[in-house]
C-alpha cells in the first residue's frame, strides 16, 4: 500500500472517494470488489477524526427493538458480521450486561421477550464466522447472577439483569485500515494527506483538484463519480460545488473517557442515568472506556476539541452511576471525542440530544442537478459496510454497469498477497521470543502479519521500541513504507496501540522519532515538533 500521487493523477477512475474514515474505507473496498476503478483521498490521516474515537462497540441493534425497527437491526447485524469477517483479529465477541430495576418497560419479562426477538432477527449472526467469533444467545440473569457480573450495585429494586452479545473493535483505526488494505488488494489507489480543494466541472463533476498537504503540490484526479464521505467536513466540500443544504446539519460532540482501572473484567456494563440515557463501561486492553456523553457542537470541525469540564462531567457521571468505581481525574489516562450528526436537542447539558438515526446517501444529480456527485452522511461506525453497499449499487446504476461488474466478494475477504516468511528463521533470535513476536503481529495485523515479519527477517533482529504495549522497530518501518505513515502521530494513534489509551513515555516517543527521522529525513526541529504534536493530543489532561 504505497502513497503514489503520480499514479493517482495519471489515471481516469470510475469512482473517487473523498474521506478516509470508516465510511470512505468501506466504500473503497466495496467499489473495488465490484470491479470499479477506485481511488480514495484523505486530507489528513486515515481515521484521524470520529472514526478513530468511538466507544468501539460494534452493535447488532438491540436498542432498535423499542421502536420495532427491524430494518435497522438487520442492517446492524449484517454490518457487524462483515466487520468480524474482514478483521477477525480485531473484532471479538463482547458480552454486555444491563441490570434490571423493575418497571414494565425494562422488566425481566419484557427483556426476555426482547432478547428472544433479538436472537430471532439476528438468526444468521454466526453464519460463515469461525467458532471463536460466534455470538451466543442472550439470557436473563437472576439478581445473584447480575451481582456476580456487576458487584457493588445498588440492590434496592434490583430484580436481575439481562446479558446479550455484541462485538468489540479492539482497534477501530486498524479496522478501517483493514478495509483500505482490501481495497488496495483489489487495485484501488489510496492516498492520505491529499486534500480536495475544488471540483472539476465539465457540465457535470468529473473529478477534483487536490493538494498534497505535505509538499503543497497540486494535481487533478479524474473520475466519473465523486463520493463525498468526509464526515463533519461534508458540507465544506459541498461548498466547493456551490451546493447548499436547505437545512444546515447540526452536530453533537461525543466524548468517552479511558480510565486505568479494570472495573468489570471481560463484560461491558450498561447503566442508566436519570436522564434515561445509558452509559457503557467497556473493558478494553486492561482499561475501561466509559461513555458516551453528548453536547451540541456548532464550531468549525477543524477546530474541534474538548474541555476539561467534559472529562470531569463524565468522571462524576460514572461515580454517580457506579459508586464503587470511585474515579478521580488522576484515573483518566485519555479520552476519545468526535462529531456526530445530530437531529435535535432539547433540555439542558445535552440531555435531550437525539442523533440522526440512519446514514444518508444523496445523489446530487437527482437532488441538485449536479451529475457525478454523491454525498454520504455517515452516522454509525457499525453500519458502514451496509452503507457502502448502497453507495456502490447507486454508482453501478449511474454508470450503467449494474450486473456487468464482477460479483461482490464479501464472503471471506482478501488474503494478504505478500510472500510468506519462513518462521523458522526467527528461532535464532532471543530463545523463545519467536512465538511471542509472531503472536503479537498476528493479533494486531491478522493476515497482514507476514508483511511485518519480512522486515524482521531482513534486519536479522528483533528490536523493541516498547514492550507494553508492544511495538518493534520493524513495525515502524513497515508503517512508513507500506501504510503511508508520515507523522509520528500517525503511528502513535492510528497504526499501533501505543498511544490510544495513555501517553507513552517521552523516551519512547524520542526513540520512535529517531527511527522515523532516519526513514523520512527529519532534522532535529522536525523531530521535536512531531513529539510536541503527539503530547498536545493528551491535553487538557494534566500530564507529568
Q: How many CB atoms lie within 10 A of CB 109?
A: 9
Residue-level length of the chain? 544
Please name the fold of domain 423-536.
Helicase, Ruva Protein; domain 3 (1.10.8)
d(CA 166, CA 94): 5
Q: What burial letters (b/e) apply to 376-386, b meaning 16+ CB within 10 Å?
A: bbbbbbbbbbb
Nearest C-alpha neighbor of 499 from the set 538, 467, 462, 528: 538
d(CA 538, CA 366): 44
Where do the structural domains in the chain lie, given as residue ranges? 423-536
3-state secondary structure of 307: coil
Instruction: Report whether 200 contacts 69 (CB < 8 A).
Output: no
**Which residues fall within 8 angstroms of residue 413, CB to CB, at 6 or more apart?**
85, 86, 182
Angle between helical axes of 70-86 and 108-121 (0-180°, round to 10): 60
Number of helices (H), then strands (E), in the chain: 16, 20
**Which residues fall within 8 angstroms of residue 416, CB to CB, at 6 or more apart?**
181, 185, 447, 448, 449, 450, 451
Q: Tens digit of pLDDT per residue, the chain (544 long)? A: 899 999 999 899 999 999 999 999 999 999 999 999 999 999 999 999 989 888 999 999 998 988 889 999 999 999 999 999 999 999 999 999 999 997 666 678 899 999 999 999 999 999 999 999 999 999 999 999 999 999 999 999 899 999 999 999 999 999 999 999 999 999 999 999 999 999 998 889 999 999 999 999 999 999 999 999 999 999 899 888 777 666 678 899 999 999 999 999 899 999 998 888 899 999 999 999 999 999 999 899 999 988 999 999 999 999 999 999 999 999 999 999 999 999 877 665 556 788 888 899 999 999 888 999 999 999 999 999 999 999 999 999 999 987 666 544 443 344 344 455 555 555 444 444 557 788 889 999 998 888 898 888 776 667 899 988 999 999 999 999 999 999 999 999 999 999 999 999 999 999 999 999 999 999 999 999 999 999 999 988 865 4
The dihedral built from the CA positions of residue 400, 71, 271 and 167, taken in this order, carries a sign that is negative
Nearest C-alpha neighbor of 221 from the set 240, 241, 195, 239: 195
The dihedral built from the CA positions of residue 128, 130, 131 and 136, taken in this order, carries a sign that is negative
Q: How far is CA 105 from CA 100, 138, 368, 511, in A?
A: 10, 18, 44, 55
d(CA 252, CA 338): 8
Task: Please name the residue that has the C-alpha cell 503481529.
Answer: 441
The burial of 138, by beta-carbon neighbours within 10 Å (0-12 exposed, 13-18 middle, 19 or more buried), is given as buried
Amino acid at each position: 500500500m504505497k502513497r503514489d500521487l503520480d499514479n493517482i493523477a495519471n489515471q481516469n477512475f470510475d469512482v473517487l472517494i473523498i474521506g478516509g474514515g470508516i465510511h470512505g474505507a468501506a466504500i473503497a473496498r466495496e467499489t473495488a470488489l465490484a470491479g470499479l476503478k477506485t481511488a480514495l483521498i484523505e486530507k489528513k490521516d486515515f481515521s484521524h477524526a470520529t472514526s478513530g474515537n468511538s466507544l468501539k462497540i460494534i452493535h447488532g441493534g438491540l436498542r432498535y427493538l423499542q421502536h420495532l425497527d427491524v430494518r435497522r437491526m438487520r442492517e446492524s447485524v449484517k454490518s457487524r458480521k462483515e466487520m468480524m469477517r474482514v478483521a477477525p483479529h480485531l473484532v471479538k465477541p463482547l458480552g454486555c450486561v444491563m441490570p434490571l430495576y423493575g418497571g414494565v418497560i425494562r422488566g425481566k419479562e419484557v427483556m426476555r421477550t426482547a432478547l428472544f426477538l433479538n436472537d430471532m432477527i439476528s438468526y444468521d449472526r454466526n453464519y460463515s464466522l469461525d467458532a471463536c467469533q460466534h455470538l451466543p444467545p442472550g439470557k436473563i440473569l437472576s439478581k445473584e447472577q447480575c451481582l456476580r457480573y456487576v458487584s457493588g450495585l445498588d440492590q434496592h429494586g434490583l430484580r436481575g439483569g439481562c446479558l446479550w452479545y455484541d462485538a468489540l473493535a479492539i482497534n477501530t483505526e486498524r479496522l478501517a485500515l483493514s478495509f483500505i488494505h482490501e481495497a488496495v488488494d483489489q487495485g484501488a489507489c489510496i492516498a492520505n494527506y491529499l486534500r480536495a480543494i475544488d471540483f472539476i466541472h465539465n457540465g457535470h463533476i468529473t473529478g477534483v483538484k487536490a493538494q498534497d498537504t505535505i509538499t503543497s503540490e497540486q494535481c487533478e484526479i479524474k473520475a466519473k463519480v465523486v463520493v463525498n464521505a468526509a464526515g463533519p467536513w461534508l458540507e465544506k466540500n459541498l461548498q466547493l460545488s456551490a451546493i447548499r443544504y436547505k437545512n444546515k446539519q447540526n452536530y453533537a460532540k461525543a466524548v468517552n473517557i479511558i480510565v486505568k482501572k479494570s472495573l468489570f473484567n471481560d463484560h461491558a456494563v450498561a447503566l442508566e442515568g436519570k436522564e434515561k440515557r445509558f452509559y457503557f463501561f467497556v473493558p478494553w486492553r486492561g482499561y475501561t472506556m466509559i461513555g458516551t456523553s453528548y453536547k451540541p457542537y456548532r464550531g468549525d470541525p477543524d477546530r474541534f476539541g474538548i474541555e476539561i469540564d467534559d472529562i470531569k462531567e463524565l468522571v462524576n457521571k460514572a461515580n454517580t452511576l457506579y459508586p464503587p468505581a470511585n474515579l478521580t481525574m488522576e484515573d483518566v489516562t485519555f479520552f476519545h471525542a468526535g462529531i456526530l450528526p445530530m437531529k435535535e436537542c432539547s433540555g439542558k447539558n445535552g440531555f435531550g440530544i437525539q442523533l440522526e438515526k440512519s446514514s444518508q446517501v444523496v445523489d446530487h444529480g437527482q437532488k441538485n442537478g449536479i451529475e457525478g456527485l454523491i454525498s454520504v452522511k455517515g452516522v454509525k461506525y457499525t453500519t458502514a459496510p451496509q452503507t457502502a453497499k448502497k453507495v456502490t449499487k447507486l454508482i453501478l446504476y449511474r454508470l450503467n454497469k449494474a450486473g456487468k461488474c464482477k460479483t461482490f466478494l464479501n464472503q471471506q475477504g482478501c488474503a494478504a498477497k505478500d510472500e510468506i516468511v519462513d518462521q523458522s528463521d526467527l528461532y535464532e533470535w532471543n530463545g523463545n521470543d519467536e512465538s511471542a513476536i509472531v503472536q503479537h503481529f498476528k493479533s494486531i495485523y491478522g493476515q497482514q502479519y507476514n508483511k511485518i515479519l519480512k522486515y524482521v527477517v531482513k534486519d536479522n533482529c528483533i528490536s523493541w521500541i516498547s514492550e507494553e504495549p508492544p511495538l518493534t522497530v520493524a513495525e515502524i518501518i513497515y508503517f512508513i513504507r507500506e501504510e503511508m505513515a508520515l507523522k509520528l502521530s500517525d503511528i502513535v494513534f492510528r497504526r499501533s496501540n501505543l498511544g490510544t489509551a495513555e501517553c507513552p513515555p517521552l523516551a519512547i516517543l524520542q526513540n520512535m522519532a529517531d527511527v522515523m527521522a532516519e526513514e523520512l529525513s527529519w532534522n532535529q526541529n522536525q523531530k521535536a515538533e512531531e513529539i510536541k504534536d503527539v503530547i498536545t493530543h493528551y491535553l487538557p489532561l494534566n500530564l507529568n
